Amino acid sequence: MSLLLYDNPVSGNAYKVRLLLAHLQLPYERVEVSVTDRTNRQELFAGKNPSLRIPVLRLEDGTHLGESNAILWYLAEGTRFLAEGRLERARLLQWMFFEQYDHEPNIAVARYLLHYAPDAGQHAEIVAARQQGGRRALAAMERHLKQHCYFVDERFTIADIALYAYTHVADEAGIGLGDYPSVGNWLRRVAAEPGHAALLG
């Protein structure tokens, strides 16, 4: 049984998984799931992902795994994309928790409300608050990247993949990257990694 990914082309969380699959050169099938119409989520994901969110990856043995960063960790096991040392692995998790707690809820939500929500453009106060939170997250990344080429162990790992997904489309959230030159340099390094795949590629 082949890998099967439930995803959507514009979802940054799903893109993380597609990007790592591209780097690993792993073949997989896709089922496209709407990010706006959730009427069939219970039917689609019952027994697969309790949160009813994408991405969900069906593994070779037929079991399913949800949550983008958990999927990244699973796929990266035994590869160069996962840190080796105990402290390095903890730091990798630190940045992945940061991505889900501080980064994604702000940048991804602002992007969604501006472009993809059924009532896009009608959430000015919420968007402004999310943009402010997104800038705080980018500022934290900028401070780290002034001193480092990547987020963990000075090499490309799933921490970079997790953070790249929504950072590289921050402009779609109404957040310019001009104030974060080290983040911009890091984005270019990630995009230049062999095997890189574009969001809608």
CA dist., res. 91 & res. 85, Å (int)? 10
Look at residue 201 and tell me whether its pLDDT is greater than 90: no
Q: What is the pTM of this model?
A: 0.96
Q: Provide the b/e sequence for 134-145 (b: ≥16 CB within 10 Å).
A: bbebbeebbeeb
User: In this structure, are strands 28-32 and 64-66 parallel, antiparallel, or unpaired?
Assistant: unpaired
13-26 residues labelled b (16+ CB within 10 A) or e (exposed)? bbbbbbbbbebeee
For helices 68-76 and 12-24, the axis angle rounded to 10 degrees is 10
Name the fold adopted by 3-76.
Answer: Glutaredoxin (3.40.30)
Q: What is the pLDDT of residues 7-23, one digit of tens each?
A: 999 999 999 999 999 99
154: alpha, beta or left? (left if phi > 0; alpha if psi -120 to 50): left
What does the domain layout of the chain look like in residue ranges? 3-76, 86-191
Which tops the pLDDT comparison, 122 or 180?
A: 180
Per residue in 56-106, pLDDT (tens digit) is: 999 999 999 999 999 999 999 999 999 989 999 999 999 999 999 999 999
**86-191 architecture in CATH?**
Up-down Bundle (1.20)
